[in-house]
Structure 1
Amino acid sequence: MRLDPEEVLLRKSLLMLDFDGPVCSVFAGYPAPQIALELITSIGEHSAQLAAVLKGESDPMEVLRAAARSLSRDRVKQIDEQLSRAEMKAVETAQPTAGMADLIEVARRAGIGVVIVSNNSSDPIGSYLTRCGLDVAVDHVIGRPFGRPEQMKPDPYLLNQALKVTGLPASRACFIGDSVTDVEAGRAAGVTTIGYANKPGKAERLERAGVHFVVDSF
């Protein structure tokens, strides 16, 4: 199913977008499993036990979450900083998601604000938007709070921050994400949630999580 901008954006004043997936494939040239392994190696310098538990984990965000549950806040900040540097490198080769730039332009022409709400770090997101000429079309970037991975999605904190900074109620916002955690965060924040099913089997997972709409193309 293709996204119908008029149907989805009708009576909305804010379009919130997850970054990795809906906007671009962040780790297209610098694979997420490689970054996860690098983070686990760093964790092993302080906790061989945790590194052993994380062996085989391919999602750097899950590595960061695990670090927050087991390591000191200072160590977590070090891991977060390392991940942010990796993300900055990754966005240099990130691949744009087809149709998203056009959707952002449709929203802007309709007077709808656009905010990036992402578990990725803000600076790499800003770097990518500038490189692709989208920085002027995006009003705010709400990235993961440094050293506070517990506030990443599925927690609604980031979405609530977007609503707060724009001064809009949840009923006037919609959120496009591509993961179950995105759907959970969107539902917790009370916004209309659109799932981007860009891989086989994802539509079913998003629907089970309670997404309002599922699309496979923008």
Structure 2
Amino acid sequence: MVGAAELLADRDHVLVGFDGAVCTVFDNERARGAADRLRPLVGPVLPDEVAASGDPFAVLAYAASCGPNTADAVHRQLARLELEAQLVAGPVPGSTELIGALAWRGFTVTVVANQSVDAVRNHLALHELQDKAKRISARASGDPDQLLPGTALVDAAIRGVGASPERCVLIGRTPQELQAARAAGVATIALAPGKLRPPPDVVVADLAELRLAG
């Protein structure tokens, strides 16, 4: 079975999933708090599953079904909440070193995220990574069809570096990131335990193992 070093050796471009591999913006408590703050923008009467959800993206998806103006309002408020939350969350241990090592080895690094472009850009700037992860493919609107696990963000990342899917690999932790990459024809390295569908090409135990690969 191919390992991380072999997979990386055959690629020029690395897509790094933001959520959980670079910054866990919302833990369970912060996610529920964000969903609670978004719900009033949608309306007082909500479907039961939306009213009870602790996932802000479930509220965003419902907002999109209410119309573009509502979706935009929820997207903009969610972006503000993500900016606040990433300051508290900080980087995932080892993520800054990993991105630095990938850039030093000559890979083009693109961060892929369902989180807002502003939140990702701010995180990279705060941790002096903007010159290492030079490209961002992240949420820019309230349209859920443009988000993971759809392929739009991965496709945009590939176009942004003028590459083919075969020259890219995605490093990610969430099922949405990994599913989107595989659907776009991009090889995957998972930072997640347990069974994943579709299965990733490589599973590593932690970021340190991946940083040292090759």
After TM superposition, the score normalised by the length of structure 2 is 0.89
- Given that residues 29 and 90 in structure 1 are in contact (C-alpha distance below 8 angstroms), is that contact kept between their aligned partners in structure 2? no
| Structure 1 runs, 4 residues or longer, greater than 6 Å off | none
Count of aligned positions: 205
1:64 aligns with 2:53: no
Displacement of 1:158: 0.5
Displacement of 1:30: 7.2
Cα distance in 2 for residues equivalent to 1:30 and 1:59: 10
Displacement of 1:5: 5.6
Percent of pairs with identical residues: 30
Alignment match, 1:203: 194
Give the counterpart letter for 2:38 in structure 1: L
1:95 aligns with 2:90: yes
Q: SS of the residue aligned with 2:171?
A: strand
Give the counterpart letter for 1:147 in structure 2: G
- Given that residues 22 and 97 in structure 1 are in contact (C-alpha distance below 8 angstroms), is that contact kept between their aligned partners in structure 2? yes
Q: SS of the residue aligned with 1:21?
A: coil
Displacement of 1:49: 3.1
After TM superposition, list the pairs within 5 Å mapping 1:95-134 onto structure 2: 95-134=90-129
Deviations 1:17-68 (A, max 9, x none): 11110001212597111101111232224xx134x44122111112211221
Q: SS of the residue aligned with 1:31?
A: helix
After TM superposition, the score normalised by the length of structure 1 is 0.87
Structure 2 portions without partners, runs of 5+: 208-214
Distance 1:5 1:49, change over 3 A: closer
Give the counterpart letter for 2:144 in structure 1: P
1:152 aligns with 2:147: yes
After TM superposition, list the pairs within 5 Å mapping 1:1-218 onto structure 2: 6-27=5-26, 31-45=30-44, 48-50=45-47, 52-68=48-64, 70-197=65-192, 202-204=193-195, 206=196, 208-218=197-207
- Given that residues 191 and 205 in structure 2 are in contact (C-alpha distance below 8 angstroms), is that contact kept between their aligned partners in structure 1? yes
Displacement of 1:92: 1.2
Displacement of 1:147: 2.2
Displacement of 1:146: 0.9
Distance 1:147 1:29, change over 3 A: closer
Cα distance in 2 for residues equivalent to 1:8 and 1:107: 13
Distance 1:107 1:49, change over 3 A: closer
Cα distance in 2 for residues equivalent to 1:117 and 1:104: 13
Question: RMSD of aligned C-alpha atoms?
Answer: 1.8
Displacement of 1:8: 3.7
Cα distance in 2 for residues equivalent to 1:59 and 1:7: 37
Give the counterpart letter for 2:120 in structure 1: I
